Structures are given as C-alpha cells and as structure tokens.
Amino acid sequence: MEKFFKLKQYGTNVRTEILAGLTTFFTMAYIIFVNPNILKLAGTADNPFNPQGIFVATIISAVVGTLVMALFANVPYALAPGMGLNAFFTFTVCQIMGFRWQEALAMVFICGVVNIIITVTGLRKMIIRSLPPVLQKAIGGGIGLFIAYIGIKDCGLLKFTSDPGTYQFFGKTPADATVVASSSAVPAMVNFSSPSVQLALIGIVLILILMVLRVRGAILIGIASITALCFIEIGIFGVAPSAFNLPGTNAHEFFSSANVSISGIGKSIAQVQDTAFKMDFAGLFANGSKFLLALTAMIAFILTDIFDALGTFIGTGRRAGIFDAEDEKLMLEGKGIKSRLDKALFADLSATIVGAFVGTSNTTTYVESSAGIAVGGRTGLTSVVTAAMFLVCLILSPVIGMVPGVATAPALVVVGILMMSSVGEIDWKDFSVAAVAFLTIALMPFTYSITTGIAFGFISYVIISILKKETKNIHPIIYFFTGLFILNFVLLAIRNL
C-alpha cells in the first residue's frame, strides 16, 4: 500500500487517508438519493426513467469513476453524477428542449468522448498554461465561497420568498414537484426554532472549536457527533425524522428503515437494466430541426465538464500541495498523460462515459472532495475508501441515509473557510484585477455553478484587457473559450425566444 500510493512521499498515513475518505463520502452521499429523484422527472408516462435503475447507475458511476481517480491518478478526489448537470439534463434538455432521456444520454456520451479528445491532444494543458494569475487565484476563492454556500443552504439556514406568478412547477403535483422561481426569489435567514437548524448551528460551532484546537479528524468528529445528537433527539424526544431530512415520519419508521437486506441486492442491481445501454444516437440526430438545440446542450455539457473539474483541481489541489510545482512542471512540459493533474483530468472524463453507459447524467469530480482534503487526504487511498463506501450503499443505503444533511453541511461551511486563503493574494486595489476576481468568485455561488463563474471571469478579463490595450497578455486559448462561453449564452437565449 505504501509503495503503490506513496503515502510517506505525500506526507500522509493510512489512518489519515481512511478518515479523509469517510469524510468525503459522508459529505457527498446525498447524491445517491437526490440524483434519482431529479433524473426520474426526465421520463414520461409512456417512456419512464426508472429511479431504482438510476440509483444503481449513480452508485456504479461513482464507484468506477472514483476508483479510476484513485488507482490511475493517485489523488484524493471522488466522482459522482454532478448536481446542476443532472438538473440541466432533466429540466432543460428533456423537459424544455423536448429530447427523450435516451437521446440526452447519447449527448452525455458524445460530450465525454469530445472532452477525452481535448485532454489527450493536450488542449487542457494549454488552458491551464494560459490562465492568468488573477483567474487562478479567484477560482480557488470562488470554489471556497461556493462550498460554504452549499453548506449554509444544506444547514437549512436560508429560506426563499418568491412573488406570485414568478415560479413554475416541474412534476405531477405541487407536493412532489421541483419549483423553478425567477430572480424575484429573495433569500433570508430562518428563525432558529427548527431542531435541524439548531443541530446545524451546533455542528458549525463544534467543528470550528475542534479546528482551532487542531484536533485530528475534527470534521469527521463533527459529522459523527451531530448524527448521534440527531438519534438522541429522535429516540428520547420523539422528534419526527422528517425534521432532519431522514426516512420516515416517526421514530419507528426511521429505525425500521435501517433494516438491511443482502438478498435484495441482486434485485436492486437488476433494475439498472432499465437504464443501461439505452443511448439513442439515431433518435438524437433524426430530427434536423433540433440540431441547433442539441448543439446548444452539448456545448453546455462540454464546457461544464471541462471547467468544473479544472476549477476544482486548481482551486483545491494547488493549495493542499496535491499538484505541486514539480507535478505542474511535468504536466506543462511533458508529453502524454504523465502528471497527477493530467491523469486526474483523464479520470474525470472517463467517468462521464461510464455514467452514460449505465444510465445517468454527466459524472464529475465533486467539490465536496475538499472536505476529505481538509482532513489530510493526499493520495488515491482516500478515494479508494470513498469508492468502497459507495459500493456498500448497494446493500446499506438505508443506513447511509440515516446520516442527516444537518450533520454534513457544517463541514462544508468550515471547508469553505479553509479555501478562501487565495483571495488574500489578489490585488484588490487594482480595479481591473478586482473586477475580474469579484465576478469569478461571486458568480459561482450566486449562479450555483463553477463554470458560470469561470465564464464571467474569462469574458471580463478579455474585455478589460482590450480596453486597457493589453491584448498581448491574452493567450489565444483564452480568446477561444471566451468565444465559446459567449456562443453558449447566445444559443441559450435564442432557444428561449
């Protein structure tokens, strides 16, 4: 194990890697329950998208992608179907554009192949080499703020109010529908009467105290402690599990939901046949009038695949020393896929193709991996542990579901704090630099998209450089992707006319 993962070389040990792997898993385990609930809405009455099949597909894509990341790249990142990408797949590509989910899976596969070609040909190296310092620093800070926002939202600290007539439902009934609201939705702080919010606040304070005291495994201790407190409240005070986003509506249903049936695993896995190998390439291109729509969707998928992972690696890997100066030099000057960063990018894209085969939207590197990195994860052993936990979910999904979101969300808030250090290296006194940095950082959490923040960073950087007559500082690659970002926004606008 030491020889394969080079634990001593990267300043870690087996215990730390296991703690990191568990931490990463528990901060992203929600995806195995959320992804089927979103993607099932991409189906129709006469063409259903089996949620149980999606559940298994989600686990398979996470396990395979994370293991490739671990064994091929030897880095502590975990993969799973991406939030945001699954919503785009369902609500935009299928419900608004009108593509069948089988055709949407074909798009995902094509995008995976295109991005692998981009990586193998060295275009991604050129992108990294071309990034100006302000964007590199802003991406790290933006991801930190994005992670913190996810944590604050999942803690239940926010509520949103929308004006009448400014939202719409996607679902059969309002009770089980997804609500899409306009920009009239205004966030506000909730009151602290909810048991889940109270536990989330306790979790934030507890992890902060442990971090200040430099307690090893502080984040995982915090997650375990809040989970235990949740059990105590349910067992002693009879608080409804729904208050903590847990299975069942009473204590009896909650604890009975943890029954594990190994005999049921075969039946569960068999459900994936309803989603696997269902890509419909012929149907995707059969209607010439939809070609522009398909192109719009695929450009969005491709750009998100490229820059979500790239932003995550740059924002977390450099700060933690996972991609050190020697590795970066090997990546920029070497040929082929030799550096850890090269291999990590390749692993990220191969997972998207696996996901399309088994029946789920784009699989991507999870920014929640930073929680494990904050614990000390530095090698692929962290990812092996995370992958093993995902695999166990085929049997123990009810038990995994008993870890509430209010226990894992505080960890993300603290990780966001850790990742904001790069913001201090930005020259905020220079308005030209500050404008690019601010748009990059702010629009990641505001739009709930790493790629959108990077897009506005690219566009603002090019515009400001042109106005200042400093175009010699702009690499052609920056021009190219700025043009693609603008084209993507234009096509999205045309589609909605």
Residues in the chain where the model's pLDDT stays below 50 = none
Amino acid 268: pLDDT: 64
Q: Is residue 197 in some structural domain?
A: no
The answer to whether 387 and 347 have CB atoms below 8 angstroms apart is: no
Nearest to 199 by CA among 179, 228, 159: 228
CA distance to 31, 56, 375, 444, per residue, from 144 (Å)? 20, 31, 15, 10
Tell me how long the chain is: 497
DSSP state, 191?
A: P
Amino acid 265: pLDDT: 59
Range of the domain at 142: 2-155+291-401+419-495
Identify the sign of the CA torsion 241, 18, 387, 368: positive
Q: Is residue 241 in some structural domain?
A: no
Q: Which residues are 363's β-sheet partners?
A: 81
Amino acid 176: pLDDT: 66
Q: Is residue 138 in some structural domain?
A: yes
- Which own/partner pairs from 262-270 qualify as long-range (CB within 8 Å, at least 24 positions apart)? 262/395, 265/394, 265/395, 268/52, 268/55, 268/56, 268/394, 269/56, 269/394
Amino acid 263: pLDDT: 52
Q: Is residue 214 in some structural domain?
A: no
Amino acid 246: pLDDT: 73
Q: Is residue 239 in some structural domain?
A: no
Q: How many separate domains does the chain show? A: 1
Q: Is residue 194 in some structural domain?
A: no
Global confidence as pTM: 0.77
Q: Name 181's Cβ contacts closer than 8 Å, sequence gap at least 6.
A: 160, 162, 166, 167
Rounded to an integer, what distance in angstroms lies between the CA atom of residue 331 and that of residue 234? 52
Q: Is residue 207 in some structural domain?
A: no
Amino acid 150: pLDDT: 86
Q: Is residue 468 in some structural domain?
A: yes
Amino acid 479: pLDDT: 93
Amino acid 260: pLDDT: 54
